């Protein structure tokens, strides 16, 4: 036995004997009483007052699979978020009338009382910078920027009149993913994992993959667990090098010793939990266990090298190179393995037109080429594997883009770009019990405001939960003295797109 | 005079407790008096028996007064009445024997009375609280009446599927086999047509002339309003349905689609469909309710690494996912067999199939979704599934199944989705497969995305002039 191990054993012995000394007893008496008093004073503060009102959080295994409220059609979700907000006017919302107004001053009626992120003074209207065609039997309008997606239009339900009340990226992304524009709420993936647990005990229930060179503006809070036990937060996997850092055993430690040390740590944690009942301890224990299992399962599932050549060709993936396409293929693999919620963020959709990479006729086209083939391949691949009807695929940004050309600081800009727009934008859903080839909601003739079928982030969240078998009003968690839910006090299931 | 008799009758439920208590107490004293310690009790036995007999007579009389008001199940009433009278007679005999000091005979009287009182009392309870009242509230498994599922309102029978459940929920409490207030029963077609003490209750085609409907639309404070104050009331939707039923002829055997539907009915019919469809999506789970599965079996399977749980909190059907299990053992096979009736969704991707496992699955006769993609299942093993007729989703992607093997399943007529990608079955046989499974959407997959020149082209910023 090495010198280090002897030292560890000695420390362990001291720690164990500590529990039975007189001094320790008095110390614990004191702090225990203190905690009790504090608990009663601070009821509703943090974990002292947190309560699981769904009856789901089990002390032994918080990630254990659980049944939903009613029978849901979808068993997992792949959420494709285009961080930065893609332009609906160049992708799905075809407005021929806007073309006629191209280059004209924006009418005052559209500007009065409105606030924009960057537009100042009177901007010019900007016609659609893409060629549109009607696709499939459903006749959905999809531009030539997405030629592959156009071939699967009949699988998709479009939401053409989504609205938000946040025109900055961070708050808008938080609203989309946590139901609140402010920090601190659990993300939708965390809610789903809290509600359903994980089907595969070797993998986390909620995995996050990012691409485009940056994390979303709202930071990691968009896949955080908020006030839910932190075991439900998204596990971010890197797309280059080791998917999860520090997952390998250090040199000289074999798997048996690793197991023995985790068992010892968890035994100590269990004693502490018995004493303080802090669910975060359970979360930590579960995460140790999960990490141990992930040492085997993650390298396997996160490896796309073994996929056949035709799959790589279909998705346009290149193993070893970080890309959105690789993430999409990984998403399919994860869902196939029983992961509940896979969240993809692709950064770089903020088409302001400040330079070529953010111009709606240059940078946006390139971004579209990066996602078009992989997303199409994902829908087709899920379908041929018999997984599409139990996997809900959601696509969208955090808001839309203006029908006016951005004039940052009141000056005309060298590239064609659009400002943030909250009043109408397009998202879509497919699979998981969603209608095939349908469209809900309409915008006015220039795509400025929604005129029918308005839906909000909360409505989309209610619908996603509904497809998984949850009543969004009943999936709650008590924190700080009141019950919280993903949709706050809002949300309506968009039955118009439910099959 | 009649009113006084009626009033006296209403005291029956109160008075009956006197003879029960007093006579049981007499019997107790009688029994105890055989012990030396309580031997002195003997002297009060005649007195308690006398009071008990008087109380019994009084309850009999009040009972007779009450029974003349009708409204009770005749058969139960008959037994209750005569047993009650015999209690009174036996207690009078008891008084007589105490007077004559015939101890042996008194013993027999006491024992008989004990039995009679319990039976009569129970029957009385049945009359007032309904059949099975003893076990109803204490039973741990509450029997919850399930409303018939209406998936297609137009195909539903108006009376059997829509009207009868309303009557059952709101009226049967007082107007069925248990009680017949106003001499009215509503639990079968014959009784409804017969009407109550005031004559027939339904004039076909005229709801407003039909007492059944008129009493429902009376002002709720009116004492003739039905259901009575304090009882669950007929909702607006139910009122419209009842009105429509009577106005359209009060048929007992017609389907919704055979009747003319006023505009007010259409939204209600769709609502009926929605109410029932929402929690149970299409054919994922059999409509028939099932008993809860044995928790020990579920726990055992969980221990083997199987994710097995209810498909939803409101259902006893199970979903089982073997994603982390590569191979089953005899124990696992047995557990699957034991849980067979409850399992509706079974996922076994990449499973190493054995014929024992295939046999175990053949016991899962509720199965609706079977995912065995990339598993090692053979044609022979697949044959075990030929009687799993509820299967509507079958995933055979990446298996070695051949056309011949698949056609063995020709009796699975509910097959809706059939996935055959990467298997030994080829596209050209699809016509034959479609013929065998006419309802199925057959997916061979093998999808490709086209290679477009634009896929790899990058749009660049035009050079400055």
- From B370, B383, B305, select the one nearest B343 (Cα to Cα): B370
- Chain B contact set for A389 (CB, 8 A): 393, 417
Cis peptide upstream of residue B227 (ω within 30 degrees of 0): yes
List of long-range contacts for A300-304, beta carbons under 8 Å, 24+ apart: A301/A203, A301/A330, A301/A333, A301/A334, A301/A337, A302/A237, A302/A243, A302/A330, A302/A333, A304/A329, A304/A330, A304/A333
Q: Residues B59-88: what's their mean pLDDT?
A: 85
Q: Residues A121-135: what's their mean pLDDT?
A: 94
What distance in Å separates the CA atoms of residue A421 and residue A444, rounded to the nearest whole number?
14
| A472 vs A61, more confident | A472
pLDDT at residue B420 is higher than 50: yes
pLDDT at residue A85 is higher than 50: yes
- Note the residue count of chain A: 499
What distance in Å separates the CA atoms of residue A484 and residue A491, rounded to the nearest whole number?
13
pLDDT at residue B248 is higher than 70: yes
**Are residues A282 and A136 part of one domain?**
no
HEC states along A56-75? CCCCCCCCCCCCCCCCCCCC
Determine whether the interchain pair B321/A71 forms a contact, defined as Cβ–Cβ distance below 8 Å.
no
- From A159, A164, A163, select the one nearest A174 (Cα to Cα): A164
- How far are the Cα atoms of A51, B161, B187 from residue B146, in angstroms, in the given order? 33, 12, 17
CA nearest to A361 within chain B: B459
For chain A, give me the number of helices (H) and strands (E)? 12, 17
Determine whether the interchain pair B313/A376 forms a contact, defined as Cβ–Cβ distance below 8 Å.
no
How far out from the chain centre does Cα B462 lie?
74
**Are residues A401 and A264 part of one domain?**
no
Q: Considering chain A, what is the average pLDDT of its residues?
A: 88
As to burial, measured by CB atoms within 10 angstroms (0-12 exposed, 13-18 middle, 19+ buried), residue A215 is middle
- How far are the Cα atoms of A457, B425, B432 from residue B429, in angstroms, in the given order? 46, 7, 6
Q: How confident is the model at residue A52 (pLDDT cuts 50, 70, 90)?
A: very low
pLDDT at residue B139 is higher than 50: no
Q: Residues A375-397: what's their mean pLDDT?
A: 96
Q: What are phi and psi of B341, to 5 degrees?
A: -65, -25
Q: Does A148 touch chain B (CB under 8 A)?
A: yes
- How far are the Cα atoms of A87, A324, B325, B458 from residue B454, in angstroms, in the given order? 20, 17, 44, 8
Q: How confident is the model at residue A39 (pLDDT cuts 50, 70, 90)?
A: very low
CB atoms within 10 A of CB A213: 9
**Are residues A228 and A106 part of one domain?**
yes
pLDDT at residue A40 is higher than 70: no
- Chain A contact set for B287 (CB, 8 A): none
Residue A158: strand pairing partners: A428, A439
- Classify the phi-psi angles of B208: left when phi > 0, otherwise alpha if psi is within -120 to 50, otherwise beta: alpha
pLDDT of amino acid A153: 95
Q: How confident is the model at residue A100 (pLDDT cuts 50, 70, 90)?
A: very high
What distance in Å separates the CA atoms of residue B307 and residue B124, rounded to the nearest whole number?
52
Q: Considering chain B, what is the average pLDDT of its residues?
A: 85
pLDDT of amino acid A34: 53
What distance in Å separates the CA atoms of residue B130 and residue B127, rounded to the nearest whole number?
6
Residue A1 belongs to what domain range? 1-41
pLDDT at residue A186 is higher than 90: yes
**Are residues A324 and A297 part of one domain?**
no
Determine whether the interchain pair B309/A65 forms a contact, defined as Cβ–Cβ distance below 8 Å.
yes
As to burial, measured by CB atoms within 10 angstroms (0-12 exposed, 13-18 middle, 19+ buried), residue B35 is exposed
What distance in Å separates the CA atoms of residue A349 and residue A398, rounded to the nearest whole number?
10
**Are residues A472 and A384 part of one domain?**
yes
Determine whether the interchain pair B371/A386 forms a contact, defined as Cβ–Cβ distance below 8 Å.
yes
Out of A312-326, B160-174, B352-366, B445-459, least confident range: B160-174
**Are residues A288 and A346 part of one domain?**
no
Q: Residues A193-215: what's their mean pLDDT?
A: 91
pLDDT at residue A370 is higher than 90: yes
What distance in Å separates the CA atoms of residue A184 and residue A297, rounded to the nearest whole number?
31
Mutate to test the interface with A, among B293, B447, B450, B451 (most CBs of A within 10 A): B447
In this structure, the strands spanning A442-443 and A140-143 are unpaired
Q: What are phi and psi of B27, to 5 degrees?
A: -65, -40
**Are residues A293 and A160 part of one domain?**
no
Q: Residue A499 in contact with residue A433, Cβ under 8 Å?
A: yes
Q: What are phi and psi of B53, to 5 degrees?
A: -65, -40
As to burial, measured by CB atoms within 10 angstroms (0-12 exposed, 13-18 middle, 19+ buried), residue B143 is exposed
- How far are the Cα atoms of A405, B154, B346, B415 from residue B439, in angstroms, in the given order? 52, 22, 21, 6
- Chain A contact set for B370 (CB, 8 A): none
As to burial, measured by CB atoms within 10 angstroms (0-12 exposed, 13-18 middle, 19+ buried), residue A237 is buried
pLDDT of amino acid B141: 38
Nearest-Cα distance to chain A for B445, in Å, is 4
Q: Residues A5-15: what's their mean pLDDT?
A: 80
pLDDT of amino acid A457: 96
- From B54, B154, B135, B150, select the one nearest B94 (Cα to Cα): B54
3-state secondary structure of A385: coil
| B393 vs B279, more confident | B393
Q: How confident is the model at residue A22 (pLDDT cuts 50, 70, 90)?
A: low
Q: How confident is the model at residue A42 (pLDDT cuts 50, 70, 90)?
A: very low
Q: Residues A95-114: what's their mean pLDDT?
A: 92
Indicate the DSSP class of residue A205: S
The DSSP element (H or E) to which B189 belongs, if any, is helix B189-194
pLDDT at residue B173 is higher than 90: no
- Chain A contact set for B324 (CB, 8 A): 200-202
Q: How confident is the model at residue B262 (pLDDT cuts 50, 70, 90)?
A: confident
Q: Does A338 touch chain B (CB under 8 A)?
A: yes
pLDDT of amino acid B94: 87
**Are residues A190 and A127 part of one domain?**
yes
What distance in Å separates the CA atoms of residue B200 and residue B212, rounded to the nearest whole number?
9
Determine whether the interchain pair B459/A66 forms a contact, defined as Cβ–Cβ distance below 8 Å.
no
Q: Residues A371-397: what's their mean pLDDT?
A: 96
Highest mean pLDDT among A169-173, B206-210, B435-439: A169-173
Residues of B with CB under 8 A from a CB of A: 278-281, 284-285, 305, 307, 309-315, 321, 323-324, 349, 371, 373, 393, 395, 397, 417, 419, 421, 443-452, 454-461
Strand blocks (E) in A84-139: 132-135
pLDDT > 90 in chain A, percent:
63
The sign of the dihedral angle between the CA atoms of A292, A296, A299, A302 is: negative
pLDDT of amino acid A104: 93
Which one of B309, B313, B321 has the shortest CB-CB distance to A69?
A: B313
Query: pLDDT tens across A216-261, in order?
Result: 999 999 999 999 988 899 999 887 777 887 778 888 888 889 889 9
How far out from the chain centre does Cα A123 lie?
34
The DSSP element (H or E) to which A368 belongs, if any, is helix A363-384
Q: Residues B18-27: what's their mean pLDDT?
A: 91
- From A496, A490, A435, A497, select the one nearest A459 (Cα to Cα): A490
What distance in Å separates the CA atoms of residue B405 and residue B165, rounded to the nearest whole number?
46
pLDDT of amino acid A48: 35
Q: Number of folded domains in chain A?
A: 3
pLDDT of amino acid A179: 96
DSSP assignment of B262-281: -TTHHHHHHHHHHHHHTTS-
| A14 vs B410, more confident | B410
pLDDT of amino acid A28: 61
What distance in Å separates the CA atoms of residue A181 and residue A168, rounded to the nearest whole number?
10
pLDDT at residue A444 is higher than 50: yes
- From A205, A191, A195, A196, select the one nearest A286 (Cα to Cα): A205
Q: Does A380 touch chain B (CB under 8 A)?
A: yes
Out of A11-20, A274-283, A464-473, B172-181, least confident range: A11-20
Q: Does A318 touch chain B (CB under 8 A)?
A: no
What distance in Å separates the CA atoms of residue A256 and residue B181, rounded to the nearest whole number?
77
- Chain B contact set for A338 (CB, 8 A): 307, 321, 323
Determine whether the interchain pair B443/A383 forms a contact, defined as Cβ–Cβ distance below 8 Å.
yes
**Are residues A326 and A466 part of one domain?**
yes
**Are residues A460 and A355 part of one domain?**
yes
Q: Residue B350 in contact with residue B374, Cβ under 8 Å?
A: yes
Q: Residues B94-107: what's their mean pLDDT?
A: 84
What distance in Å separates the CA atoms of residue A75 and residue A64, rounded to the nearest whole number?
15
Query: pLDDT tens across B300-328, in order?
Result: 999 898 999 999 888 899 999 999 998 99
pLDDT of amino acid A230: 86
pLDDT of amino acid A264: 93
**Are residues A111 and A25 part of one domain?**
no
- How far are the Cα atoms of A117, A454, B100 from residue A78, in angstroms, in the given order? 30, 23, 93
Q: Residues A380-387: what's their mean pLDDT?
A: 96
**Are residues A223 and A157 part of one domain?**
yes
Residue A427: strand pairing partners: A159
pLDDT at residue B155 is higher than 70: yes
Determine whether the interchain pair A361/B459 forms a contact, defined as Cβ–Cβ distance below 8 Å.
yes
Which one of A70, A201, A366 has the shortest CB-CB distance to B459?
A: A366
pLDDT > 90 in chain B, percent:
35
pLDDT at residue A63 is higher than 80: yes
Query: pLDDT tens across A352-365, in order?
Result: 999 999 999 999 99
What distance in Å separates the CA atoms of residue A88 and residue A209, rounded to the nearest whole number?
24
In this structure, the strands spanning B369-371 and A391-396 are unpaired
Q: How confident is the model at residue B35 (pLDDT cuts 50, 70, 90)?
A: confident
What distance in Å separates the CA atoms of residue B142 and residue A336, rounded to the nearest whole number?
39
In this structure, the strands spanning A418-421 and A400-405 are antiparallel
What distance in Å separates the CA atoms of residue A385 and residue A335, rounded to the nearest whole number?
11
């Amino acid at each position: 036995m090495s010198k280090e191990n002897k030292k560890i054993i000695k420390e362990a012995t001291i720690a164990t004997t500590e529990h039975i000394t007189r001094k320790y007893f008095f110390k614990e008496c004191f702090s225990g009483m203190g905690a009790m008093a504090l608990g009663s004073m601070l009821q509703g503060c943090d974990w002292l007052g947190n309560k699981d009102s769904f009856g789901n959080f089990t002390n032994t295994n918080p990630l254990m699979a659980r049944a939903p409220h009613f029978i849901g059609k979808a068993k997992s979700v792949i959420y494709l978020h285009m961080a930065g907000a893609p332009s609906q006017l160049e992708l799905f919302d075809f407005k021929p009338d806007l073309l006629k107004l191209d280059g004209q001053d924006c009418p005052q009626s559209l500007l009065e009382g409105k606030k924009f992120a960057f537009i100042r003074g009177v901007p010019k209207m900007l016609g659609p910078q893409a060629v549109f065609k009607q696709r499939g039997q459903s006749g959905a309008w999809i531009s030539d920027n997405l030629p592959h997606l156009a071939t699967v239009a009949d699988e998709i339900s479009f939401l053409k009149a989504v609205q938000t009340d946040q025109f900055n990226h961070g708050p808008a992304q938080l609203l989309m993913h946590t139901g609140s524009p402010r920090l601190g709420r659990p993300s939708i993936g965390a809610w789903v994992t809290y509600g359903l647990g994980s089907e595969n005990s070797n993998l986390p229930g909620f995995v996050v993959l990012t691409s485009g060179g940056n994390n979303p503006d709202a930071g990691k809070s968009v896949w955080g667990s908020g006030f839910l036990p932190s075991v439900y937060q998204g596990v971010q996997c890197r797309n280059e090098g080791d998917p999860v850092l520090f997952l390998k055993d250090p040199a000289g430690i074999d798997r048996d010793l690793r197991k023995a040390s985790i068992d010892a740590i968890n035994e100590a944690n269990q004693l502490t939990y018995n004493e303080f009942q802090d669910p975060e301890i359970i979360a930590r224990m579960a995460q140790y266990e999960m990490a141990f299992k992930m040492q085997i399962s993650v390298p396997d599932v996160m490896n796309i090298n073994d996929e056949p050549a035709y799959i790589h060709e279909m998705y346009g993936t290149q193993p070893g190179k970080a890309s959105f396409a690789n993430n999409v293929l990984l998403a399919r693999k994860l869902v196939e393995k029983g992961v509940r919620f896979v969240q993809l963020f692709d950064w770089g959709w903020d088409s302001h037109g400040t330079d070529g990479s953010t111009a709606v006729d240059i940078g946006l086209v390139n971004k579209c080429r990066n996602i078009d083939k992989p997303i199409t391949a994902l829908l087709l691949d899920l379908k041929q594997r018999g997984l599409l009807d139990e996997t809900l695929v959601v696509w969208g940004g955090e808001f839309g883009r203006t029908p006016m050309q951005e004039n940052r600081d009141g000056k005309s800009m060298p590239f064609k770009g659009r400002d943030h727009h909250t009043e109408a934008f397009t998202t879509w859903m497919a699979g998981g019990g969603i209608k095939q080839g349908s469209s809900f909601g309409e915008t006015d003739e220039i795509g400025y405001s929604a005129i029918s079928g308005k839906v909000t982030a909360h409505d989309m969240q209610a619908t996603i939960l509904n497809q998984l078998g949850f009543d969004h009003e009943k999936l709650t968690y008590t924190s700080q003295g009141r019950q919280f839910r993903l949709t706050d006090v809002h949300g309506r299931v968009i039955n118009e797109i439910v099959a | 005079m009649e009113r006084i008799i009626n009033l006296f009758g209403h005291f029956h439920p109160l008075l009956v407790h006197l003879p029960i208590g007093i006579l049981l107490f007499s019997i107790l004293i009688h029994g105890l008096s055989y012990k030396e310690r309580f031997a002195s009790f003997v002297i009060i036995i005649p007195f308690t028996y006398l009071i008990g007999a008087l109380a019994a007579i009084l309850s009999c009389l009040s009972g007779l007064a009450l029974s003349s008001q009708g409204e009770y199940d005749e058969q139960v009433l008959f037994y209750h009445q005569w047993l009650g009278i015999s209690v009174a007679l036996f207690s009078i005999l008891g008084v007589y024997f105490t007077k004559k000091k015939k101890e042996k005979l008194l013993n027999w009287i006491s024992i008989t009375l004990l039995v009679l009182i319990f039976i009569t009392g129970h029957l009385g309870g049945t009359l007032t609280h309904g059949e099975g009242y003893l076990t109803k509230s204490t039973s741990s498994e509450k029997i919850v009446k399930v409303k018939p599922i209406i998936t297609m309102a137009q195909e539903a029978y108006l009376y059997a599927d829509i009207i009868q459940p309303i009557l059952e929920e709101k009226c049967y409490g007082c107007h069925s086999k248990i009680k017949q207030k106003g001499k009215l029963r509503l639990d079968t077609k014959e009784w409804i047509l017969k009407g109550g003490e005031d004559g027939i209750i339904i004039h076909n085609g005229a709801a407003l002339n039909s007492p059944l409907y008129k009493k429902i639309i009376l002002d709720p404070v009116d004492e003739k309003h039905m259901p009575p104050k304090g009882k669950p009331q007929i909702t607006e939707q139910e009122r419209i349905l009842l009105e429509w039923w009577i106005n359209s002829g009060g048929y007992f055997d017609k389907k919704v689609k055979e009747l003319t539907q006023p505009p007010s009915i259409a939204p209600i019919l769709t609502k009926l469909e929605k109410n029932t469809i929402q929690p149970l999506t299409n054919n994922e789970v059999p409509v028939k309710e099932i008993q809860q599965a044995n928790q020990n079996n579920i726990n055992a399977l969980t221990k083997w690494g199987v994710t097995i749980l209810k498909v939803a909190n409101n259902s006893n059907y199970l979903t089982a996912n073997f994603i982390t299990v590569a191979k089953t053992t005899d124990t696992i096979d047995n557990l699957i067999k034991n849980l067979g009736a409850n399992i509706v969704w079974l996922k076994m991707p990449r499973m190493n199939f054995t014929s024992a496992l295939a046999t175990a699955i053949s016991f899962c006769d509720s199965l609706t979704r079977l995912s065995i993609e990339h598993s090692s299942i053979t044609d022979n093993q697949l044959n075990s599934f030929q009687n799993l007729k509820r299967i509507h989703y079958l995933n055979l992607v990446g298996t070695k199944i051949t056309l011949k093997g698949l056609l063995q399943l020709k009796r699975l007529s509910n097959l809706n989705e059939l996935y055959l990608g990467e298997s030994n079955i080829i596209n050209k046989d699809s016509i034959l497969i479609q013929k065998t499974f006419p309802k199925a959407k057959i997916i061979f997959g093998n999808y490709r995305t086209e290679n477009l020149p634009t896929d790899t082209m990058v749009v660049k910023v035009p050079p400055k002039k």
